[in-house]
Amino acid sequence: MTRFALALLAMLARFSGVAAAQSTTTSETWPEIDVFWRPAEHQRTFLELSGSAEQESSKRQATAGLYQDYLNLPFGYVRGGYRYTFSTRDASYRESRLVAEGVASKSIMWRFRALNRARFEWRWVNGDPSYRVRERVQIQVVSNAKRGPGWTPYGTLEAYYDSRYRTVARVGGRVGTEARLSGRMTTDVYLARQNNFRGAPDRLNALGLVLRITF
């Protein structure tokens, strides 16, 4: 797992294309609580409550999202919903986002599983409309443990096409692991890296802490 994490972060660093003397790097924490409710076998409602806090400044943002999942499809599932992000200290940032995505999943060798997520986002950032297309590939190790945490380590790589720049404006990746706390609760702890070809900061490192609750 450590070798995989180092290889992924090294590959992301090569994508930056920004001279070190001109680049800026920030560090953030991303706490998140996800609540899932499954009223039927093929449906799931998902409530997202998350935030971000920049360690080097007073920048704070909060996010609330509500989504509907349609499950048990031959390839995986599809999701649609709405997400709102805002600055908690002032009115400097407001973003509304409509989300549509599909996730395909396939078992590969041994206990590995590959997932591909394609997401389309209609965005209004401080009132200005735009859209973004995101493509993410994830490889995870599926645990067959019936008791205990049932660790599920994973790694992801994601590209972001932004209509404001008409190009891939960001490449990001994560390495982390999910763990089962109980029949209804799981955690997800990960390290994230983003390299921005457009906008600021040039590089971003984040620690993500997620609690997921299912009803």
CA gap 24, 10 in Å, rounded: 17
CA gap 142, 110 in Å, rounded: 9
DSSP characters over 19-57: -GGG--EEEEEEEEEEEEEEEETTEEEEEEEEEEEETTS
CA gap 207, 154 in Å, rounded: 15
The predicted model gives 180-194 an average pLDDT of: 96
pLDDT for 56 equals 86
DSSP characters over the chain: -HHHHHHHHHHHHHH----GGG--EEEEEEEEEEEEEEEETTEEEEEEEEEEEETTS--EEEEEEEEEEE---SSEEEEEEEEEEEESSSSS-EEEEEEEEEEEEEE-STTEEEEEEEEEEEEEETTEEEEEEEEEEEEEEPP--SSS---EEEEEEEEEEETTTTEEEEEEEEEEEEEE-SSSEEEEEEEEEEEESSSS-SEEEEEEEEEEEE-
The percent of residues above 70 in pLDDT, for the chain, comes to: 90
**pLDDT digits over 54-92, tens only?**
998 889 999 999 999 999 999 999 999 999 999 999 989
Give the predicted TM-score (pTM) of the model: 0.87
Range of the domain at 203: 2-214
pLDDT for 144 equals 81
CB-based contact 20:198 (threshold 8 Å): no
Count: domains in the chain: 1
pLDDT for 186 equals 97
The predicted model gives 199-206 an average pLDDT of: 94
Please report, for the domain that includes residue 69, its CATH number. 2.40.128.130
* Per-residue pLDDT band at 3 (split at 50, 70, 90): low
pLDDT for 16 equals 42
